[in-house]
């Protein structure tokens, strides 16, 4: 849901999703490998999965610096089911696809959206989440979501949110940031009037003390944005992980992980539940996808 991620030409080519990679030695391995690392068989192949750790509740760091979140738990469960040992790395968003192409890791799970432009350079699994967008702003301030002309709108770089903003509100003043956290900071400081973001992380932030004075403006924006795991083209891991994802959905593990991070009584949970149902239907009614977000 960055992430979903996931690219139109504006995202991948124009905004440098394939251009701005950090050196590989900046990657930080997960301190919490979960069940995937616990299955310590010498016969199991080991792979690396890259994420971006400023995307609550999908992937972020706890107070001890450990990688946690919905995608971290799901990645560990998928690796266990696929019978591979996984090391999870935290990298900057702009460097994720270049690093995958350079074979520095085997997959990306970072709220990345499956779209046509990204499919030109990577392949995707079946979707594991369906993303909506929301526009948030300060409570009681009449800055609605119908007309953003002339308004400063915070958004993360190289995301579907930025693509949507530029396409649908060309007269808005987009203020693009490297991370979601930087966008929140400028919204709090008043340097941005509004923020457009994936719904799940934005709604999670609204529940925090810093987000308590802000609210969703207008209705969630349905962009049918499918979040999936990115791989290199023709990688046999795609089939392994599609099979593992279908199994986790069928045996209830996927729902258990989702319920841990998405409350049943919030708009976030409705988004998550819709995602589960949509993704499950797609898994049951179609052949494994060759590309994902």
Q: Do domains 9-130+225-285 and 132-224 have the same CATH topology?
A: yes
Is it the case that residue 152 has pLDDT exceeding 50?
yes
Task: Please tell me the total number of residues recorded for the chain in this structure.
Answer: 293
Predicted pLDDT of residue 144: 66
Rounded mean pLDDT of the chain? Answer: 80
Domain boundaries, the chain: 9-130+225-285, 132-224
Return the pLDDT at 242. 98
pLDDT reading at 25 higher than 70: no
φ, ψ of residue 29 in degrees (nearest 5): -70, 150
* pLDDT at residue number 42: 62
- Residue 36's pLDDT is what? 41
CATH 3.40.190.10 given to domain 9-130+225-285? yes
- Range ranked top by mean pLDDT from 193-202, 221-230, 233-242: 233-242
Is the pLDDT higher at 19 or at 247?
247
| pLDDT at residue 27, rounded to an integer | 44
Say yes or no: domain 132-224 is CATH 3.40.190.10: yes
Q: Would the pLDDT of 122 be above 50?
A: yes
Give the pLDDT of residue 48. 98
In the predicted structure, residue 92 carries a pLDDT above the cut 80? yes
The pTM of this model reads 0.67
Which position has the higher pLDDT, 111 or 275?
111
pLDDT in tens, 34-84: 444 444 456 789 999 999 998 889 999 999 999 999 999 999 999 999 999
């Amino acid at each position: 849901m960055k992430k979903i991620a996931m690219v139109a030409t504006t995202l991948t080519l124009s905004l440098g999703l394939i251009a701005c990679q950090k050196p590989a030695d900046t990657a930080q391995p997960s301190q919490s490998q979960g069940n995937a690392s616990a299955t310590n068989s010498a016969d199991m192949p080991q792979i690396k999965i890259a994420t971006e750790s400023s995307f609550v509740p999908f992937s972020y760091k706890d107070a001890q610096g450990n990688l946690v979140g919905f995608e971290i738990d799901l990645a560990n469960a998928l690796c266990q089911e696929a019978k591979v040992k996984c090391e999870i790395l935290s990298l900057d968003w702009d460097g994720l696809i270049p690093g995958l192409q350079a074979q520095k890791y085997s997959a990306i799970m970072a709220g990345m959206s499956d779209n046509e432009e990204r499919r030109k350079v990577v392949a995707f699994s079946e979707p594991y989440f369906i993303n909506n967008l929301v526009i948030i702003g300060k409570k009681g301030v009449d800055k609605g979501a119908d007309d953003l002309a002339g308004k400063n709108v915070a958004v993360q770089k190289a995301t579907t949110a930025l693509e949507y903003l530029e396409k649908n509100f060309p007269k808005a003043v987009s203020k693009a940031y490297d991370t979601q956290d930087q966008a929140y900071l400028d919204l709090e400081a008043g340097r941005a009037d509004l923020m457009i973001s994936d719904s799940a992380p934005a709604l999670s932030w609204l529940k925090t003390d810093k987000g308590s004075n802000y609210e969703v403006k207008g209705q969630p924006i349905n962009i049918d944005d499918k979040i999936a795991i990115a791989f290199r083209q023709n990688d046999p891991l795609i089939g392994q992980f599609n099979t593992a994802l279908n199994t986790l959905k069928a045996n209830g593990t996927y729902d258990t992980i989702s319920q841990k991070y998405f409350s049943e009584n919030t708009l976030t949970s409705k988004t998550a539940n819709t995602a589960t149902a949509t993704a499950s239907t797609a898994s049951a009614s179609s052949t494994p996808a060759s590309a994902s977000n």
